[in-house]
Amino acid sequence: MATTKSVTAWLAERGLSLDQLLDAAALERKVAEAILHGRYTPSPQQRQRIAVALGVPVEQIAWGHINEVQNLHGHGPQFGRTP
């Protein structure tokens, strides 16, 4: 069974740079950087273009956010307290 890896791991394994991924996948730099840092989940079309650029099936790339989502209650710290 094939293992899934992040886009960053695939780039390192393939020896590709961010600029090479940008050219091959036709992505904007800010979108690609957000994907690499786990702040953005790409659309199905973007996923397909990235997979082709990396030379792997879409199913072998781990997609999604890697940063923890924090749920804050109340009005936030700007109001002095969060319950």
Whether the predicted pLDDT of 81 surpasses 60: no
For the domain made up of 7-60, the CATH class stated in words is mainly alpha
Report the first-to-last Cα separation within the chain, whole angstroms: 46
Q: What sign does the CA torsion over 29, 35, 38, 41 have?
A: positive
Interval 12-68: pLDDT, tens:
999 999 999 999 999 999 999 999 888 888 999 999 999 999 999 999 998 876 656
Domain extents in the chain: 7-60
Residues 78/71, Cβ–Cβ less than 8 Å? no
Secondary structure of residue 61 in the 3-state scheme: strand
Q: In the chain, what are the helix, strand and coil shares in percent, each to the nearest 5?
A: 50, 0, 50
Distance CA 67, CA 51 (A): 22
Residues 1/47, Cβ–Cβ less than 8 Å? no
Q: Please give the average per-residue pLDDT across 5-17, as a whole number.
A: 92
